[in-house]
Amino acid sequence: MQTNTKYDVVVIGGGLGGILTAVLLSKEGMNVCVVEQDKQIGGCLQTFSVQKKVFDSCVHYIGGLGDGHTLNRIFTYAGIMDKLELKAYDTNAFDKVAFGMGANEYPLAQGFGNFQEQLLEYFPHETMALREYINRIKTVGDHFPLYRLRMGDADEKAAVSNWGLTDTLNEITDNPLLQSVLTGNNLLYAGVKNKTPFYLHALVTESYIHSSHKVLPGSSQISKYLWQELQNSGGTVLRNTAVTKVVEADGNITHIETEHGEQITGTQFISNVHPQVLLGMLDSKIIRPAYRKRIDGLQQTTSTYMLNLVLTPGTVPMRHHNLYWNATTDVWAAAEYAPQQWPVNYALFFTEDKDNPGYAESLSILSYMHYSEVSKWDDSYNRTGHEAERGDAYETIKAQKAEQLLNKVYERVPELKGNITAQKAATPLTYRDYTGTPKGALYGILKDVNKPAETTIATRTKIPNLLQTGQNVNLHGVLGVSITALATTAELVGLQYLLDKVKP
Ligand SMILES: Cc1cc2nc3c(=O)[nH]c(=O)nc-3n(C[C@H](O)[C@H](O)[C@H](O)COP(=O)(O)OP(=O)(O)OC[C@H]3O[C@@H](n4cnc5c(N)ncnc54)[C@H](O)[C@@H]3O)c2cc1C
């Protein structure tokens, strides 16, 4: 069945990348349709509730939303910035980093000067190293033109893209503890020793040093307001509608097909889904087998187990920072854990109880989890609208993991014990089914400094009217994906033109 409307732009997937690109294009007068498989739009920006407490499925805090910062400018232009209710993190520590049973919790602070000052309390002899570290972070940011919302060329990026994270830190300091502290929150970018590029660490870290915020009551506010903006400019969102086919004829995409048998036609198509998923739906000889093989063979970032807890009111003191814990100072070991060692890392995200200020109403705990631990349920599929049971054995694994993780967290947050009134867990399968990301990979394709060309996905494809957006192009995270939305939009309207509007 073919729908009557021929859209100017059809966007496949309504994650942040898809919906923000749709808003930017609809502001240009284009008739845009976003097709999303889930009941909720937003992809990783979804929320859910347990005992009426709101939980984020993924995004707990966002960098670069402070006045004048890059994401603030983009969201202002998109029309949502003044609608968001933000809670700033502690200026002296947006994150704290801890190791094993060590009592120290090392602060990562907002503001470059403050970042240095807070760490000097623990590393009094590292002034030069910390100065150099900040200098390198700023240098990298300056070499990524879109991060500064300016025009630039690929050579600028190329000049710093080949810096490895571990190598660069070795150049900056020979203090292994300081290196571990600076990368102790590498869950933020799923770092892998000798593979993760320094720029990935630098761009993410810089954004949180600029400003760190939580969106209240949850990150789905971002997608909700973007959706409203899209509607205001005449755009359409089709939810509960999985795209099953992307059809090419005579060199261009003509239409997409959905699980409901509809054909949606358009002039321009933009994919916000993982490149592997796109290629799986795209039947076209223009895409060479070698390219398909390359994309299929790429390593994905590791996946995760998330445990969300509702707490007894007034029992667990609120922390206005996140806590990243690693079993040892070898922060890279976590990605390679053996199942019997689990958990070897975790991050704690607290949400304050409005009725009991100073105490947390809920806590989310994130730890790495390999897809292989749940791959025997590979054939199962369970998300809202497509509910299915995975069976007792799966539930048992989830429950065992919860117990193991809690026992570890109790060592650092003993007040938690006996004060959990409800809990809900997510595994790599949950992430796979809710976002369509293969193997529930935290941030999609793993960036490898040794293979920059192979692990970099372009906005353009070989098919002239098919573009890509989202976390697999450039960088993940709310800031990274929003910047990519600019890059994708610019393919249709021109970059200088767009930047003049975003940064008048
Ligand atoms: C556990 C976790 C925690 C995170 N925490 C943070 C954080 O604290 N701060 C931060 O900045 N970033 C965080 N991130 C990263 C950030 O959430 C993502 O990088 C970003 O939201 C990805 O946006 P996207 O649009 O690229 O992809 P997605 O959000 O994955 O969107 C893709 C969309 O496509 C849809 N889709 C897939 N296949 C189809 C199909 N066939 N038909 C129709 N629709 C389809 C999906 O349902 C989804 O809505 C986190 C990510 C995870 C997984």
| Residue reference for tokens 């009557």 | 4
Phi, psi angles (nearest 5°) of residue 420: -105, 120
What is the C-alpha to C-alpha distance for residues 180 and 107, in angstroms, rounded to an integer? Answer: 12
pLDDT score, position 2: 65
Rounded average pLDDT over 45-55:
96
pLDDT in tens, 146-198: 999 999 988 999 999 999 999 999 999 999 999 999 999 999 999 999 999 99
Say if residue 20's pLDDT is above 70: yes
CA distance 465 to 486: 17
CA–CA–CA angle 364, 370, 376 (5° rounding): 115
pLDDT-based confidence at residue 63 (cuts at 50, 70, 90): very high
Does 304 lie in the same domain as 413? yes
429 and 321: one domain?
A: yes
Q: Looking at the predicted structure, is the pLDDT value of residue 308 above 90?
A: yes
Residues 180, 306 within the same domain: no
| Mutation to probe ligand 1, out of 47, 48, 55, 58 (largest number of atoms < 8 A from CB) | 58
Question: What's the pLDDT score for residue 56?
Answer: 97
Does residue 226 sit in the same domain as residue 241?
yes
Average the pLDDT over 195-216 and give the result: 98
Q: Whose CA is nearest to atom 20 of ligand 1?
A: 477
**Nearest ligand 1 atom to alpha carbon 479:** 11
Average pLDDT, the chain: 96
Same structural domain for residues 182 and 264? no
> 272 CB under 6 A from ligand 1?
yes
In percent, the amount of the chain with pLDDT more than 90 equals 94
User: What is each CA distance from 287 to 105, 278, 463, in whole angstroms?
Assistant: 50, 11, 8
DSSP 502: H
What is the rounded CA–CA span in Å between residue 360 and residue 345? 22
Q: What separation in Å is there between the alpha carbon of 16 and the centre of ligand 1?
A: 7
Q: Which amino acid is at 293?
A: K
Rounded CA separation 71/68 (Å): 8
Nearest CA to ligand 1 atom 21: 44
Tell how far the Cα of 55 is from the centroid of ligand 1, in angstroms.
16
492 by DSSP, 3-state: which? Answer: helix
In a domain, 237, yes or no: yes
Query: Which one of 412, 440, 468 terminates a domain?
Result: 440
Residues 249 and 276 placed together within one structural domain of the fold = yes
Pair (285, 320) in one structural domain:
no
Would the CB of 181 count as within 6 Å of ligand 1? no
Residue 15 lies in a domain: yes
pLDDT at position 455 is 87
Same domain, 139 and 263: no
Name the burial class of residue 1, with classes exposed (0-12), middle (13-18) and buried (19+) by CB atoms within 10 angstroms of its CB.
exposed
Q: Say what percent of the chain tops pLDDT 70.
A: 99
195: part of which helix (H) or strand (E)?
none
Q: Whose CA is nearest to atom 2 of ligand 1?
A: 58
Structure tokens at 41: 């739009």
Cα(30) to centroid of ligand 1, in Å? 24
Q: Which atom of ligand 1 is nearest to the CA of 241?
A: 43
Q: Is the pLDDT of residue 457 over 80?
A: yes
- With a 6 A CB cut-off, is 20 part of the ligand 1 pocket? no
Question: Can you read off the two tokens belonging to residue 419?
Answer: 């004060």
Residue 84 located in a structural domain = no
Q: Which of 273, 303, 349, 486 to mutate to test the pocket of ligand 1 (most atoms within 8 A of CB)?
A: 273
- Is 314 in the same domain as 204? no
- Give yes or no for a contact between 205 and 175, defined as CB atoms under 8 angstroms apart: no
Q: For the segment 64-82, what is each residue's pLDDT rounded down to a tens digit?
A: 999 999 999 999 999 999 9
* Separation between Cα atoms, residue 482 and residue 215, nearest integer Å: 16
- Please indicate, yes or no, whether residues 206 and 226 belong to a single structural domain of this protein: no
Is residue 65, in this structure, part of any structural domain at all? no
Cβ of 238 less than 6 Å from ligand 1: no
Q: Which atom of ligand 1 is nearest to the CA of 437?
A: 30
Residue whose pair of structure tokens reads 């490895």 in the numeric block? 164
Closest residue by Cα to atom 17, ligand 1, is 44
- State the residue range of the domain holding 243: 2-48+219-298+455-502
Q: What is the structure's pLDDT at 190? A: 97
Examine residue 88 and state whether it is found in any structural domain, yes or no: no
> What pairs with residue 269 in β-bridges?
10, 466
If you average pLDDT over residues 46-57, what whole number do you get? 96
Q: What is the mean pLDDT of residues 451-479?
A: 94
What pLDDT, on the 0 to 100 scale, is given for residue 337?
Answer: 92
Whose alpha carbon is nearest atom 31 of ligand 1?
Answer: 15
State how many domains the chain has: 3
Please indicate whether residue 471, judged by its CB atom, sits closer than 6 Å to ligand 1: yes
60 lines ligand 1 (CB under 6 A): yes
Q: Is residue 191 part of a domain?
A: yes
Q: Are residues 254 and 185 in the same domain?
A: no
Do 192 and 247 reside in the same domain of the chain? Answer: no
Give the residue, by CA position, lying nearest to ligand 1 atom 34. Answer: 13
Which ranges of 121-261 does DSSP label H, i.e. alpha helix? 127-143, 154-161, 165-172, 176-182, 198-210, 220-232
Examine the fold and report which residue of 214, 239, 262 is the final residue of a domain before the chain moves on.
Answer: 214
Closest C-alpha residue for ligand 1 atom 32 = 15
DSSP 312-344: -TTSSB--SSEEEEESSS-GGGGGG--GGG--S
Model pLDDT, residue 446: 96
Ligand 1 centre and the CA of 370: distance in Å?
Answer: 18
Q: Which atom of ligand 1 is nearest to the CA of 440?
A: 53
The radius of gyration computed from the CA coordinates of the chain, to the nearest angstrom, equals 22
pLDDT for 3 equals 67
- The confidence score (pLDDT) of residue 454 equals 86
Q: Would you say 256 and 245 are in contact if contact means Cβ atoms under 8 Å apart?
A: yes
Residue 443, ligand 1, Cβ within 6 A = yes
Assess if residue 259 is contained within a domain: yes
112 close to 193: Cβ distance less than 8 angstroms? no
pLDDT average, residue stretch 365-385? 92
Q: Is 212 in the pocket of ligand 1 (CB under 6 A)?
A: no
Name residue 305's amino acid: Y
Give the closest residue to 136 by CA, choosing from 164, 117, 108: 164
Nearest CA to ligand 1 atom 37: 436
Q: Which of 214, 231, 266 is the last residue of a domain?
A: 214
Q: In this structure, is residue 287 part of a structural domain? A: yes
pLDDT exceeds 70 at position 1: no
